[in-house]
Amino acid sequence: MTTMYIGKPTSRVDGRAKVTGTARYAAEHRVSGLAFGWIVSSTVARGRIVRIQTDAASALPGVLRVFTHENAPRLARFDRSYRDEIAPPGAPFRPLQDAEIRFSHQPVALVVAESLELARYAASLIRVEYESSPVATDLEAQRPSARAPKPRPGLSGVPDPRGDPDAAWESAAVRVDAVYRAPPQHHNPMESFATTVFRRGDGRLTVYDKTQGVQNVQSYLCRVFGCSNSTLRVVSPFVGGAFGSGLRPQATAYLAVLAARELERSVRVSMTRQQMFSFGHRPATWQRVALGATEDGCLISILHEAVAETSRFEDYSEAVVFWSGLLYACDNVQLDHKVVQLDVATPGDMRAPGAAWGLFALESAMDELATKLDMDPLELRLRNYSERDSIEDLPFSSKALRECYRQGADRFGWSRRNLQPRATRAGDVFIGQGMATGIWEASQHPAAARAELSDDGELLVSSATADIGTGTYTIMTQIAAERMGLPLDKVTFLLGDSSFPRSPVEGGSWTAATIGSAVLAACDKLRKKLLRLARKLPASPLKHATPDEVVFADGWIRSAKDPARGASLIEILRQSQFHRLEAEAGAKPSSKQKQYSRYAHSAVFAEVQVDAELGTTVVTRVVSAVAAGRILNPKTARSQVLGGVVWGIGSALEEESVLDHGLGRFMNHSFAEYHVPVHADVREIEVIFVDEVDNFVNPLGAKGLGEIGIVGVAAAVANAIYNATGRRVRELPITPDKLL
């Protein structure tokens, strides 16, 4: 493939729209005659609504309706109608369908009024009486009730044990056996969830929604409300961050559509920041890792078990322990994942679900093992480097992790690190350095795209995917421009419309490969059509040319042998009397791809300063060396990894959703108390992309970057804190109280 655009640092094609405010987000679409909904949230975590007084609210002039479980229409009967594309097994929550309270902050009413302020005021007049039941929200206390989750579709289950882990553990010369804990976290994208439903005179609905999957939301709403795709369209051109929170349809979409249908009005419903803490958190997770090694540091047994929370009504699970089965070479491995049902909203996917917590535990344990062995932690990783995926027994499509270790260590200056903990002090601070490995899957799913060329030379490419800030608009524009040999500014990529060609939800770091491959396929089909037309032109200079004998460049098709012979795309269309020529095509993983194990890897190095008196930690430096196949756009790619590293720092030091186990309620549901890193917390971050040629992973040779950036960062920071202070903290976040 030529590289006019692919692989070049390219600024976001949607950057201008975003910084000038012309990009419309879900709550910003202008619709006339709009009514505004305000969600009333439950103040208890478990029980029943015994009485709900709405008279005072309803009586206010301008209040259109107060919807509660008592008057809301009864919607689809069966759970399967509510199960979206990525729903875990179980009975999805149905807002306003019964009196039962399943979690704190559950929506219990929707007030719809002529203005947002009025809806909010009216909501404050609603009185709800609950009969509340005792809650169980403490993972630790409920751990004895842990059981295997029902398998989640699309998620690799826990691999069977291999070898003889017990015997190997008994025979190990050096052992580490430790428990690691991670708290719940809530996604906090800048844009909160919102849905603007535009209702046309004929009753058809356009649902402007914040989502990672317009078609997922469309099919969910159509099943729940019993309508057809042709009467309900979902549109989501811009998303102000999502990180997994927008994978499943949200209550705003459900409630806004419900109100729009009942009131025969256009309706907008949005969530407050506090309500952003009412669904789909990263689950609190308890983990035990036991590593057995020979005296020279070869792993002979790995045991990794996890217990995570889920709700009472769905079995959410994620790949926490899976990675311990393939990251290092080891013959005897036992993995286990269990869930505990708590009175919480069903947890949900959050950036690198499973791996974020799983690698914190595994990579902390590896550091502990290195300490026991008196070995350099990096040397320990190299000694146990896996050349083959031992879970699937497959070769890797590519794996440049060794090079990540080498380049990352070089840049970081790892060789100058003091192996001795608590040995480097500068004034009031201890300085320490730590490292960890990261891994994330490089998957591809079936998807389709359409490419349309018009006779003014403009190419429009579309697919129903999303851009949650990752750069999808930009890389798809690059891919299409490259393939069609058109200047970047002649290509427009459109996404976020359920009427566009088929796309899965945007998640799992699979979008670059998934939609990118579909865009390639659509462009290839269009190229064939154009060549066919070109060959038929009178006195065609390309009369006998086959697809292999031509190149598409500068808006022309040219003979590869004789570039003077060719025709411009505009001329081909005009002379053939086409205003537009279009091609739609799908792409899916090939059977050849599946003969390889496909992962992205990283090596993360962190330096910290820990205040000897105050126990406060500053991460002064991070080097993240990433091997993710071909890097389509180094500029947006770097942003992805930077964001992941920042979140890793937050996970290590700050982020925690704190439950009051008496109330079953997340108490710090605001940015004042839920701490995320701010500029002052983030110092130097360096991102290295290690060359990795991958001819097997997918047609683009690219692995996704949305999640790999966060994986391993919390462990690298925890390991650096150990190196700085001699204190091993096995519970995130590592707040000052844990270091004093």
Among all residues, which ones are annotated catalytic?
707
The CB-of-508 to ligand MOS minimum distance in angstroms stands at 4
Which is nearer to ligand MOS, 300 or 350 (by Cβ)? 350
The CB-of-189 to ligand MOS minimum distance in angstroms stands at 11
Distance from C-alpha of 82 to C-alpha of 105, rounded to nearest angstrom: 20
The CB-of-314 to ligand MOS minimum distance in angstroms stands at 16
Q: What is the 3-state secondary structure (H, E, C) of 155-218?
A: CCCCCCCECCHHHHHHHCCEEEEEEEEECCECCCCCCCCEEEEEECCCCCEEEEECCCCHHHHH
Question: Taking CB under 6 A as the rule, does residue 353 contact ligand MOS?
Answer: yes
Q: Side-chain half-sphere of 356: how many Cα atoms within 13 Å?
A: 32
Which is nearer to ligand MOS, 351 or 483 (by Cβ)? 351
Distance from C-alpha of 593 to C-alpha of 445, rounded to nearest angstrom: 12
Query: Tokens in use for 579?
Result: 């205003």
Judge contact between 210 and 242, C-beta under 8 A. yes
The CB-of-242 to ligand MOS minimum distance in angstroms stands at 6
Tally of residues, the chain: 740
Distance from C-alpha of 48 to C-alpha of 45, rounded to nearest angstrom: 10
Interaction residues for ligand MOS, span 636-695 (CB under 6 A): none
Which is nearer to ligand MOS, 47 or 347 (by Cβ)? 347
Question: Taking CB under 6 A as the rule, does residue 508 contact ligand MOS?
Answer: yes
Distance from C-alpha of 186 to C-alpha of 468, rounded to nearest angstrom: 17
Beta strands in 294-403 (DSSP E): 299-310, 333-341, 388-389, 394-395
The CB-of-640 to ligand MOS minimum distance in angstroms stands at 12
How distant, in Å, are the alpha carbons of 160, 221, 232, 601 from that of 198? Answer: 50, 15, 10, 44
- Most distant CA atoms of the chain, gap in Å: 85
Question: Taking CB under 6 A as the rule, does residue 350 contact ligand MOS?
Answer: yes
Question: Taking CB under 6 A as the rule, does residue 351 contact ligand MOS?
Answer: yes
Q: What is the 3-state secondary structure (H, E, C) of 514-525?
A: HHHHHHHHHHHH
Q: Please pick, from the candidates 119, 207, 247, 327, the single residue that binds ligand MOS as defined by CB under 6 A.
A: 247
Question: Taking CB under 6 A as the rule, does residue 496 contact ligand MOS?
Answer: no
Which is nearer to ligand MOS, 354 or 434 (by Cβ)? 354
Interaction residues for ligand MOS, span 24-63 (CB under 6 A): none
The CB-of-708 to ligand MOS minimum distance in angstroms stands at 12
Query: Looking at residue 328, what DSSP letter applies?
Result: B
Number of chain positions touching ligand MOS (CB under 6 A): 10
Judge contact between 685 and 648, C-beta under 8 A. no
Which is nearer to ligand MOS, 350 or 714 (by Cβ)? 350
Which of 649, 700, 704 minimizes the C-alpha distance to 679?
A: 649
Which is nearer to ligand MOS, 349 or 363 (by Cβ)? 349
Residue range at the interface with ligand MOS (CB under 6 A); choices 129-137, 349-357, 545-553, 671-679: 349-357
Residue range at the interface with ligand MOS (CB under 6 A); choices 213-221, 344-352, 612-620, 676-684: 344-352
The CB-of-187 to ligand MOS minimum distance in angstroms stands at 8
The CB-of-351 to ligand MOS minimum distance in angstroms stands at 5
Question: Taking CB under 6 A as the rule, does residue 356 contact ligand MOS?
Answer: no
Q: Please pick, from the candidates 88, 92, 149, 507, the single residue that binds ligand MOS as defined by CB under 6 A.
A: 507
**C-alpha radius of gyration, the chain, whole number:** 27
Which is nearer to ligand MOS, 42 or 236 (by Cβ)? 236
Distance from C-alpha of 333 to C-alpha of 639, rounded to nearest angstrom: 36
Judge contact between 262 and 344, C-beta under 8 A. no
Q: Where are the alpha helices (DSSP H) in 595-728?
A: 634-653, 713-725
The CB-of-271 to ligand MOS minimum distance in angstroms stands at 18
Residue range at the interface with ligand MOS (CB under 6 A); choices 313-321, 343-351, 584-592, 691-699: 343-351
The CB-of-447 to ligand MOS minimum distance in angstroms stands at 15
Question: Taking CB under 6 A as the rule, does residue 271 contact ligand MOS?
Answer: no
Interaction residues for ligand MOS, span 513-542 (CB under 6 A): none
The CB-of-324 to ligand MOS minimum distance in angstroms stands at 20
How distant, in Å, are the alpha carbons of 48, 375, 630 from that of 602? Answer: 48, 21, 14
Distance from C-alpha of 527 to C-alpha of 508, rounded to nearest angstrom: 31
Residue range at the interface with ligand MOS (CB under 6 A); choices 118-126, 325-333, 346-354, 520-528: 346-354
Which is nearer to ligand MOS, 542 or 711 (by Cβ)? 711
Judge contact between 512 and 700, C-beta under 8 A. yes
Interaction residues for ligand MOS, span 206-245 (CB under 6 A): 212, 243-244
Distance from C-alpha of 416 to C-alpha of 303, rounded to nearest angstrom: 32
How distant, in Å, are the alpha carbons of 109, 371, 587 from that of 644? Answer: 36, 27, 28
Q: Angle between the 634-653 and 355-373 helix axes, to the nearest 10 degrees?
A: 70
Which is nearer to ligand MOS, 102 or 351 (by Cβ)? 351
Distance from C-alpha of 192 to C-alpha of 205, rounded to nearest angstrom: 22
Interaction residues for ligand MOS, span 602-631 (CB under 6 A): none
Judge contact between 480 and 519, C-beta under 8 A. yes
Which is nearer to ligand MOS, 350 or 435 (by Cβ)? 350
Residue range at the interface with ligand MOS (CB under 6 A); choices 348-356, 375-383, 562-570, 619-627: 348-356
Helix (H, G, I), strand (E, B) or coil at 73: coil
Helix (H, G, I), strand (E, B) or coil at 719: helix
Interaction residues for ligand MOS, span 537-596 (CB under 6 A): none
Which is nearer to ligand MOS, 152 or 383 (by Cβ)? 152
Q: Which residues bind ligand MOS (CB under 6 A)?
A: 212, 243-244, 247, 349-351, 353, 507-508
